[in-house]
Structure 1
Amino acid sequence: MAAALSACAALSSMQVGNRNVPQPAKTVEMDRYLGRWYELYRYDAPFQKNCEAVSADYSRNADGSIRVFNSCHKGSTDGPVKTATGRAKIVDATSGAKLKVSFFGPFYGDYWVLDHDDNYQWSIVGEPSGRYLWVLAREADPSDSTKAMLRRRVEELGYDWALVRVTKHQSRR
């Protein structure tokens, strides 16, 4: 219970970056969404403090739920690795774009795929409170034009870019 209260206190102290979070723009074909994603941008959250080189791997569990495996390097792109494994379930079967994700037993949080590339090369994820935002891509370092387009799209969705944190990855270019 103390952990739940701490999580609630942390959430209430976080800035709201979007007071009018839109509904997801497109349906999500979960089998195409599965696989590795690299975090490009995010709203900072206490559970990601000092995380760089963030990735998320999504796969199916035997029961049909989604396995979520998050990884980051603490402090720098080559710092010690921190991982977390959770599970997600689709809560809007019509669109497939609204999920609930849990890393802590019975406690689930919203995970809305607000927009994504038709070929599932990028994704913008938020939730109804407007306190969380993640921008994901299949490449850790996509082109500058892709990054600029994603910034524009984040702003079009109503998010405050001033609250966005750029996630560092080891340079592959």
Structure 2
Amino acid sequence: MRRVVYTAVALATVLLLSLTGCSNDPPNPNPRASAPLTAVPLDLPRYMGTWYIIANIPYFAERDMVGSRAEWKLRPDGKIDDSYYGRKKSFDAPEKHYQFLDTPVPGKEGGEWSVQLFWPVHVTQLTLYVDPDYHYTILGYPGKNLGWIFSRERDMSDDTYRALLGRLDAMGYDTSRFRRVPQRPDQLGKAGFSSPGDKD
């Protein structure tokens, strides 16, 4: 039993180090790297639903995933059921599902969530941008070592993608670290997209 507890603590520590930037992340060359991130206010009921993961900074938990998406559902208690879906390496692979519980932080107008990865591990997630029509959104973590671009649709034009990267650059992110997530088989291997087996 003690060994199980130690293993769980070790895994939680590794996960937290990875998510909070205390790992081997490269230096951020953006001149605005030290500027703090600010969450935007949200209409939470409107923000709920399905969001496709268009791009992210690759990290161990989502590396090699294709066709990934998040589904958020607002609960009567004000918390959010957060479901992640994706396929490992191939669109023919079975779909994986991970479940989290998010709590909007009081006083942050819905834009900052405390995400329970598993008990008792929580991380802070910020909504950094959402367009007026709630078609696109950008999420990040305070350390800027992780970031995501989401869309209501599987496809995003190159112009829209570049515009959202421009917003991330203005926030102080190293946008060279972002890779697009394949949402269709014909995107595998294309320039700018993650490919199964990539290290970064």
TM-score (norm 2): 0.78
User: Any residues of structure 2 matched to 1:35-46 within 5 Å, and which?
Assistant: 35-46=49-60
Partner of 1:10: 18
Partners of 1:75 and 1:50 lie apart in 2 by 5
2-structure distance, mates of 1:61, 1:95: 17
Identify the residue that residue 109 of structure 1 maps to in structure 2: 123
Write the mapping of 1:34-113 to structure 2, written as runs, cut at 5 A.
Answer: 34-113=48-127
- Distance, in Å, in 1 between the alignment partners of 2:169 and 2:91 is 27
Which is greater in Rg? 2
What one-letter code is carried by the residue in structure 1 that aligns with 2:14?
A: S
Is 2:169 aligned against 1:163? no
Question: In structure 1, what is the equivalent of residue 38 of structure 2?
Answer: 23
SS of the residue 1:13 aligns to: coil
The 1-side partners of 2:90 and 2:185 are apart by 12
Q: Which 5+ residue runs of structure 1 have no aligned equivalent?
A: none
CA distance in 2, matches of 1:9, 1:144: 33
Count of matched residue pairs: 171
Q: Which moved more, 1:163-172 or 1:26-35?
A: 163-172
> Which whole-Å CA distance do the structure 2 matches of 1:148 and 1:9 have between them?
30
Taking structure 1 as the reference length, what is the TM-score of the superposition? 0.89
Mapped partners of 2:79, 2:149: distance in 1? 22
Amino acid at match of 1:136: F
Q: Secondary structure at the match of 1:101?
A: strand
**Paired letter, 2:45:** D
Alignment deviations for residues 32-84 of structure 1 (CA, whole Å, 9 cap, x no partner): 11000001110112111211111000002242210000011101333332210
Q: Look up the SS of the partner of 2:11 in the other structure.
A: helix
Match in the other structure for 2:198 = none
The CA distance in 1 between the partners of 2:57 and 2:112, in whole Å, is: 19
* 1:125 CA drift (Å): 0.5
